[in-house]
Amino acid sequence: MNLKNLSLAVSLLSAASLAHAGQPAATLACVANGANISINLSYFDVGASTSTGDPHDWAGARSPVLSLTINAALASFQTLYQNAAAGTVMPTCTLSTLASNGDTVQFVMKSVQVKSVAAQASSASVAAPAASFVNAVLGYASVTVIDTGSGADDGGASPTGGYDLGQNTKV
């Protein structure tokens, strides 16, 4: 590849990233101590895992761990840090995003608490611009998924309801 082709490829990639720079992957909206919190997210991971005290004790009780990992702008650090330090339990947080078919999908989480928060930065080289962001992990007791559109984005049936960890039941 010659220098002209390389230059063109870099220009096209830069233009593609700028086109998406203003579009967050999702928005997280919570109420904490009577104040509304709204954070644009560049990344999120909603999930559940199973943990047990002894990894060799397969007969032992396993506890589900529900977590939300997010990346956001540095401006969100103070709000997330204050809630983590205070041990604030937010009654409800709603994560809103778009499915691949354009439908709005909401994850409504109950009893949400910031478990960890860190300001992070990295740079590929001294000459490269630094990428700075906040990474936080939130725990929650239950989640309900709401698809406001025409159904599942994979063409299948759209599941309804959610799961309440405290009651160990579907909601």
Residue 39 lies in a domain: yes
**What does the pLDDT look like over 8-40, one tens digit per residue?**
443 434 443 433 346 899 999 999 888 999 999
Residue 130 lies in a domain: yes
Q: Give the residue from 135, 150, 59, 72 showing the smallest Cα distance to 104.
A: 150
Q: What is the mean pLDDT of residues 133-140?
A: 96
- Check pLDDT > 50 for residue 146: yes
- CB-facing half-sphere around the CA of 128: CA atoms within 13 A: 8
Q: How large a percentage of the chain has pLDDT more than 70?
A: 66
The region that residue 102 occupies, defined by phi over 0 for left and psi between -120 and 50 for alpha, beta otherwise, is left
State how many domains the chain has.
Answer: 1
Residue 96 lies in a domain: yes
Residue 82 lies in a domain: yes
Claim: this prediction has a pTM higher than 0.85: no
pLDDT confidence band for 3 (50 / 70 / 90): very low
Question: How many residues in the chain?
Answer: 171
Cβ within 8 Å of residue 164, ≥6 positions away: 110, 141, 142, 170, 171
CATH number of the domain to which 66 belongs: 2.30.110.20
Residue 71 lies in a domain: yes
pLDDT confidence band for 54 (50 / 70 / 90): low
What pLDDT shows up at residue 15?
40
Residue 97 lies in a domain: yes
Residue 38 lies in a domain: yes
Average of per-residue pLDDT values in the chain: 79
Contacts 24+ apart (CB under 8 A), 61-67: 64/165, 65/139, 66/109, 66/139, 66/140, 66/141, 66/142, 66/143, 66/165, 67/115, 67/137, 67/138, 67/139, 67/140
8 A C-beta contact, residue 166 and residue 141:
yes
Residue 101 lies in a domain: yes
Report residue 40 as tokens: 């644009």
Instruction: List residues bridging with 144 in a β-sheet.
Output: 108, 162
Q: How far apart are CA 81 and CA 75, in angstroms?
A: 11
Q: How large a percentage of the chain has pLDDT more than 90?
A: 44
Q: Identify the domain containing residue 160 by its residue range.
A: 19-170
Q: How far apart are CA 157 and CA 163, in angstroms?
A: 18
Q: How far apart are CA 86 and CA 79, in angstroms?
A: 11
